């Protein structure tokens, strides 16, 4: 019984789906890949649909917008800051 509870708790802690959003600078779609813990100061992997590439970015800030979450990131590949509006 204990093992079953532990397995259920671990499965619930792992994100099962990607998180979809929009790059507010370009209007292109972005996706935070599953398994990424999105927190300020952490590196995460995104898929940029406009470039067709996976990118590593650092989360600079996060804030709730009421209809979603706005995330500012630093894109290591481009050397630019980007802002994403992620679906709630």
d(CA 29, CA 50): 7
CA distance 88 to 81: 22
Is 5 domain-assigned? Answer: no
Total tally of structural domains belonging to the chain = 1
Confidence tier at 31 by pLDDT (50, 70, 90): very high
26 located within any domain: yes
Model pLDDT, residue 33 = 85
Residue-wise pLDDT tens digits, 32-67: 988 999 999 999 999 999 999 999 999 999 999 988
Q: Does residue 11 lie within any of the structural domains? A: no
Residue 5: pLDDT band with limits 50, 70, 90? very low
Residue 54 lies in a domain: yes
pLDDT at res. 8: 40
Residue 70 structural domain: 17-87
């Amino acid at each position: 019984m204990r093992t079953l509870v532990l397995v259920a708790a671990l499965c619930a802690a792992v994100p099962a789906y990607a998180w979809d959003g929009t790059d507010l600078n370009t209007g292109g779609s972005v996706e935070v890949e599953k398994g990424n813990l999105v927190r300020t100061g952490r590196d995460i992997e995104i898929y940029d649909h406009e470039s067709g590439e996976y990118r590593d970015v650092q989360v600079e800030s996060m804030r709730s917008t009421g209809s979603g979450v706005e995330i500012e990131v630093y894109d290591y590949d481009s050397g630019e800051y980007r802002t994403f509006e992620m679906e709630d």
